[in-house]
Structure 1
Amino acid sequence: MRFDKKSIAVAATLVVSLGLSACGGGGDGGDDGAAFTFLPKNLGNPYFDTSEVGAQSAADELGVTVTQVGPDAASPEAQVPFINTAAQQGVDALIVSANDPTAICGALEEASGAGTKIVTFDSDTDPECRDLYVSQADAAGIAKVQIEMIADQIGGAGQIAILSASANATNQNAWIELMRTELESNYPDIELVDTVYGDDDDQKSFDQTAALLQSYPELKGIVSPTTVGIAAAARYLSTSEFKGQVSLTGLGTPNQMREYVADGTVAEFALWNPDDLGYLAVQAAAALVNGDIEGEEGDTFTTERLGEYTVGADGVVLLGEPFRFNAENIDDFDF
């Protein structure tokens, strides 16, 4: 996995009206007329802002139009109208981070029936609901690195809690289950006392952090596998009596977490490059639209920036391994 050590202008995302960008399904992914809809879990999320920058970079390379749309709240019900609109407009590809593995499948199947290629990224649906899933990293690897970090930070023993996104988020639930397995197998002295949900909402995640610390006075660490959650938890800890006493790790972006690493609230966290993830999702969608791949295991396609990728089992394309950020390296990255 590669990181660009250059400033990514997250605020400068290109959002174009669906009505202006849509075109008939089945177009050539290399033509200016091809239209892709980019549907994150919710708008206003720094993680997805950055992934959309990568999506637009791929669009520029390929000569396609990528339109970001999405709900304000991260819920499957809120995503369905956007999927339906994409189907009605006949876009060539729909690229979606699913808020639920099954709840949006009916809408996705209708879009697929209208000729739209379906690519999930970041958070998957059931495999039969899409053509490809562009995964940020192997789920077991993501779970393992988070448990390793919190174990290192609390000395391998004590109570921890998990602050997740929504209770239905496919990726979060997979990681949490694998984290439980990792704890049971390798860390007998660490007790997972609770898992709470901030719904990828800053204030709710902030409040859930406060509630955890009040409910578990012996708590030694919090793992938050969501960029919104870890930033909100860090903000709470940074001005509380628990700073330096309760460790925090999980998945975050360097720009969100920089001040909390600098002030000692957070020692280390992990992530992949969400810019690369958005870029790869659009490249994969274009390969489908062009007919370069069918989404079958063993299919290969090549990207200008990241090189060659191979489709794995169940139509999964893997971006790479998670990367750890800490005081020694965080200033090398800007996203």
Structure 2
Amino acid sequence: MKLHTKRPTALAALLLTATFAFAGCGGDDSGDGGGSGSEGGGDLSLTMLPKNLGNPYFDTSTAGAEKAAEELGADMEEVGPETASPDAQVSYINTVAQQGQDALILSANDPEALCDAIEEARSADVKVVTFDADTNPECRDLFVNQATAEGIAAKQLELISEQIGGEGEIAILSASANATNQNAWIEMMETELADNPDYADIELVDTVYGDDEDQKSFDQTEALLQNHPDLKGIISPTTVGIAAAARYLSDSDAKGKVALTGLGTPNQMREYVENGTVESFALWNPEDLGFLAAYAAAALANGDITGEEGDTFEAGELGEFEVGADGVVLLGEPFTFDADNIGDFDF
């Protein structure tokens, strides 16, 4: 299996900084399946259902999926709620089943709550590929994982440890309390902090949730600093959270004193890296993630693979991938962005 972390020259210029022109992507939150779609009348119909619309991270992954759909000659639409909650996703899954789409590409807001709706879709012969955030493995056909939970946890701890000199109090600003991916990463970080002697002098004093809402994440950052006056660093494993935390820190007395790292996109974090608020952070290429998820969905829908361990398929310019245990396809490992390279990226 090829593992990919694309270099700057391979990234598409998505221009998310231009008022995030993709925000909303034409979707609605009425649950009627409305949304944007690729034209072309292809034989293959794909639906992209992110956690929520208007999120730059998912705008980027959808752009990757749309690029793949164009290469595949498939029809592609994005639908989704404005708020990241499992209940808000159920109606869209039901609509996909009713419409008889060939495949659903889903970032799940809960590992359990969506399974009944997904099962109905699969009973209607809809192939279900999760990406970014998984359901329980038995609920879907494949999970396209951006990186292993261990790799993501290890990278964030490595970065925060470097930035605080290997000692001091840290906190985590996550998305929602039931976000599958964030919870997996946090659990791994807690284990690593407890077991790795390299982190013996680092103490995790708090974990808070901004629900992937900008203002709530901003307010939670302020609360962390008030509640923990000796705080040395914050890890925010969510693109909304890290940007909100950076915005708060950049205008506070804590700038340059409290380190911030986590998972973010270059365009939203560039300002804070360049003004010294943030030293470095990590992410994979979300465009590649959506691109790979669309190719995986097409391979399932076309019968090229069944989702069994050992199955292989081609994903355009990304090359060949292999299905691992529990139906997991791995994109690659996180990439570190800092002042030396952030200017080379545009997403």
TM-score where L is the length of structure 2: 0.92
- 2:311 maps to what in 1? 299
- 1:318 maps to what in 2? 330
Which residue identity lines up with residue 140 of structure 2 in the other structure?
R
**C-alpha contact (below 8 Å) 1:261/1:326 kept by paired residues:** yes
Distance 1:303 1:79 in 2: 27
Shift of 1:12: 4.6
Shift of 1:182: 1.1
Q: Measured at CA, do residues 259 and 20 of structure 1 come closer, stay the same or move farther in structure 2, by a change above 3 Å? A: closer
Distance 1:96 1:12 in 2: 18
Q: Does 1:261 align with 2:273?
A: yes
SS of residue paired to 2:171: strand
Distance 1:151 1:65 in 2: 45
1:217-228 matches, within 5 Å, as: 217-228=229-240
Q: Does 1:81 align with 2:91?
A: yes
Distance 1:256 1:9 in 2: 11
Shift of 1:243: 0.3
C-alpha deviations, 1:39-92, integer Å up to 9, x for none? Answer: 000111110000000010001000111111111111101111111111111111
Distance 2:297 2:65 in 1: 11
SS of residue paired to 1:295: coil
Shift of 1:6: 3.9
Distance 2:224 2:100 in 1: 46
**C-alpha contact (below 8 Å) 2:173/2:207 kept by paired residues:** yes
Distance 1:327 1:20 in 2: 37
Shift of 1:33: 2.9
C-alpha deviations, 1:253-282, integer Å up to 9, x for none? Answer: 000100000000000000000000000000
1:161-200 matches, within 5 Å, as: 161-186=171-196, 187-200=199-212
Distance 1:306 1:312 in 2: 17
Q: Which of the residues 244, 247, 257 maps onto 2:259?
A: 247
Which residue identity lines up with residue 213 of structure 2 in the other structure?
D
Distance 2:318 2:33 in 1: 29
Q: Measured at CA, do residues 249 and 114 of structure 1 come closer, stay the same or move farther in structure 2, by a change above 3 Å? A: same
Distance 2:179 2:34 in 1: 29
**C-alpha contact (below 8 Å) 1:253/1:271 kept by paired residues:** yes
TM-score where L is the length of structure 1: 0.95
C-alpha deviations, 1:74-121, integer Å up to 9, x for none? Answer: 110111111111111111101100010000000000000011000000
- 2:221 maps to what in 1? 209
Q: How many corresponding residue pairs?
A: 328
Q: Does 1:113 align with 2:113?
A: no
Q: Measured at CA, do residues 207 and 39 of structure 1 come closer, stay the same or move farther in structure 2, by a change above 3 Å? A: same
Structure 1 unmatched runs, 5+: 23-29
**C-alpha contact (below 8 Å) 1:19/1:89 kept by paired residues:** no
**C-alpha contact (below 8 Å) 2:111/2:134 kept by paired residues:** yes
Which residue identity lines up with residue 72 of structure 1 in the other structure?
E
SS of residue paired to 2:317: coil
- 1:123 maps to what in 2? 133
1:271-290 matches, within 5 Å, as: 271-290=283-302
Structure 2 unmatched runs, 5+: none
Q: Does 1:90 align with 2:96?
A: no
SS of residue paired to 1:134: strand
Distance 1:193 1:149 in 2: 18
**C-alpha contact (below 8 Å) 1:158/1:220 kept by paired residues:** yes
Query: Displaced runs of 4+ in structure 1, greater than 6 A?
Result: 19-22
Q: Percent of aligned pairs with the same residue?
A: 69
Shift of 1:20: 9.3
Distance 2:35 2:49 in 1: 17
- 1:140 maps to what in 2? 150
Distance 1:290 1:320 in 2: 25
1:35-46 matches, within 5 Å, as: 35-46=45-56
